Amino acid sequence: MNYLSEKHKTLSESQQSGLMLWFGRLPMDKKAVAIGLSLTVGIGTAAMAWQGTSSDRIYFCIKTPKKTLTCQDKNNRPFRMTPYYWEQWKNDGMPRQVVRDPAMGVNGLVKATNPYKPFWAFGGFLGFALAGWMLRHCQDEEKQRAVFEDIAQKRDAAKAEMAARSELIESYRDVAIAEVQLQADLDLIANDRTVDIQKAEIYAHTEIEVTQMEATDAIFEAQTAGMTEEQKAEYIKQLREMKTPYLQGSQTLAGTIDPNDKVTGSEPGAIANSDKYRWIKNTIGYPTLIFGGMGAGKSWTTREIIWHKRQAGWNQIFVLDPHGTEVEWRGVNLITGYREIADFMQWYMAEMRRRYKAYRESGMVEEQWTQHLRDTNQHFCVVAEEFTTWTDNIIEPMPDDCEDDKWKPDPDFIGKWFRCAMTESRKQLMIPLFVAHDRTMEILAKAKGLSKLRDAALLEVELIATIDPITTEAKASGQGKIKLPGHGQWIDIELPKLDQKRIDFRFDESVTSDAQSNTSHVDPKLSTDHQTAERIWQLEFNLDKPPADSSPTPSLTPVAQSLLQFLQRTGRTSAVIQEIQPNFKVKGQRFSSLELKRLFNELVEASLAVWLDVNTIEISSNHPDGQDGQN
């Protein structure tokens, strides 16, 4: 045993007998023999002590008056006692009725069969005690040995683990070296390919510039054909002094017509101090997020932005309000209820894919395509009211071509719609306006990891609430901040002062006529672009009808015109969505109830029909094509 100190050793040895010291020095097999012998002695002596009697006994009986002998008590136990107590009883006056039992021993005396019984018992005790003592000594030594065995096992396991790690490190080193060599080779090849591609791009760009220069020279020669040299010089001077007719900076053709232009943080005049409410114009053509706490004025400000959109020519406004009512949303397309909103979201993404496919096949540039969407009244705005609650209540609706037992809603349905509306909507003029309580991605459709995309794609408006000192309730402060897409700077703004919440977004006749009169002052160059876009539309998308017959009602989209002609051809004076849906199709394509409702609304806004209820319209009889189409 390892002792902690000499004192520890002295105390331990002083409490051990010589026998145990001798026993501790024995090998394990001899210790087992010694313990076995001790147990054998203990068991043998205990067995000897267990049997026989250690003292003599005198058995006696009692004579009854009937001269019979009673030798047992009521429990059938014999009357007996030792000779010592028998003599004592005789000296004290033993009754004459007590006589020795003649049936037991010699005159009632039975001799002891094991007079050394106490010695045998003591020997058994010593045998068991010695064996236990030796076992306790062995147990103490085994406990000490187990500690060292455990330490030895842990040491061996640690050595094995270190050896395995060493092998893994060597293997990882070889793999890492191979990866670095392979990556270096790939980078070298990629660099060579990049150089080749850049050379090809430079050559192509140069060729395009040369072609453009030649085309410009040819156009200039055609424009100045028949002019003298002096007239040419005067014409060139006039062009240099004129304001360039081409688009500048971040302008687009759609933005010039709107006339809402793109807004970037680098333009110092994006939000001018001279017009403190000009920031509202910046929200018209951009995906926008309006957020703020309770009572900050989100609802009133949102409605004011919608009104400015209507004034700017966005006559199709879809308001997705889960708890909205027709009374508070007059003049817009209200979609209320989470189920109906989910159907619209599904239609919205399908419409987005359809428009991008049509755009790729149109052969138009982006400006011509957006102008075409405006001319065919396909531009619209989507207002996502109470957007904070959508993720807890909206589930992806099951498509019509899916079996019930195989349908599993996408848990990221709202996130996909949010990303689609946020990033892909601007080129297709399907502009969203989100209204939420905060700008965190956990609040906005739980779309984690998209904060950079939000900062780059959304125009954000924060409304600031204040506390009423009397009622201690939150109320609008009339102040806010705006952050332009792609910029981190927040600019202070002032909210418009409103006396009441706007609930009617319809135009009167004077406003409509003014808007139509303003369109007559469009730049001739832009008018030419519009004609080009319209011609491409007729050539690419409307091959079934000649241009003269394709637009009997110019304010309607081609699909809405087809619907109007279908209603006139079938002689209907009213139409119900559920009745029209299975019968109406365009080029083999059928429409959902939500799409038909949007087409019905186009007819209503074009004064060709009126709403009877949420699913039924009545065809106006005063339309110039109305009666003729029926007859």
First to last CA, the chain: 120
Tens digit of each residue's pLDDT (9 = 90 or more) over 46-98: 888 888 777 888 888 988 888 788 888 888 898 888 888 888 888 888 888 88
CB atoms within 10 A of CB 320: 28
What's the pLDDT tens digit per position in 452-463? 777 787 889 999
- Please give the distance of CA 251 from its chain centroid, rounded to a whole number: 38
Asked if pLDDT for residue 252 goes beyond 50, the answer is no
Average pLDDT over residues 404-419: 82
Task: Look up residue 338 and give its amino acid.
Answer: Y
Residue from 473, 460, 466 nearest 296 by CA: 466
**What pLDDT, on the 0 to 100 scale, is given for residue 253?**
36
Domains contained in the chain, CATH given: 57-111 (no CATH), 280-398+410-494 (3.40.50.300), 555-623 (1.10.10.570)
Question: Which is more confidently placed, 482 or 522?
Answer: 482
CA distances from 430 to 274, 285, 349, 421, 459 (A): 31, 9, 10, 8, 15
Tokens encoding 49? 């002590």
Residue 516, pLDDT score: 39
pLDDT level of residue 606 (50, 70, 90 thresholds): confident
**pLDDT value for 315:** 82
Q: Name the percent of the chain lying above pLDDT 90.
A: 8
The CA distance from 548 to 526, in Å, is 22
Q: Comparing 17-31, 304-318, 369-383, 423-437, which segment has the lowest mean pLDDT?
A: 17-31
Residue 572 has pLDDT above 80, yes or no: yes
pLDDT of residue 135: 83
- pLDDT value of position 317: 92
Instruction: With a cut of 90, say whether residue 320 has pLDDT above it.
Output: yes
pLDDT bin (cut points 50, 70, 90) of residue 290 is: very high
| 116-140 pLDDT, tens digit each | 888 888 888 888 888 888 888 787 7
Place of tokens 């637009």: 551
Q: Between these two residues, 511 and 177, which has the higher pLDDT value?
A: 177
CB 61 within 8 A of CB 71: yes
Q: Which residues of 473-499 are buried (b: 16+ CB within 10 A; e: fewer)?
A: eeebbebbbbbbbebeeeeebebeeee
210 against 394, higher pLDDT: 394
What is the overall mean pLDDT for the chain? 77
Residue 42 confidence (pLDDT) above 80: yes
- Does the structure show a pLDDT above 70 at 264? no
Tokens of 160: 């094995």
pLDDT confidence of residue 430: 93
Q: What number is the average pLDDT over the span 385-389?
A: 87
Please tell me the distance from the alpha carbon of residue 452 to that of residue 439, in angstroms, as a whole number.
Answer: 12
Given pLDDT bands bounded at 50, 70 and 90, which one contains residue 225? low
- For residue 245, the model assigns a pLDDT of 36
Bridge-based pairing state of the strands 474-483 and 430-436: unpaired
DSSP states of 475-511 as a string?
A: EEEEEEEEE-TT---EEEEEPPP-SS---B----HHH
Q: Helix 366-375 to helix 338-362 angle, to the nearest 10 degrees?
A: 130
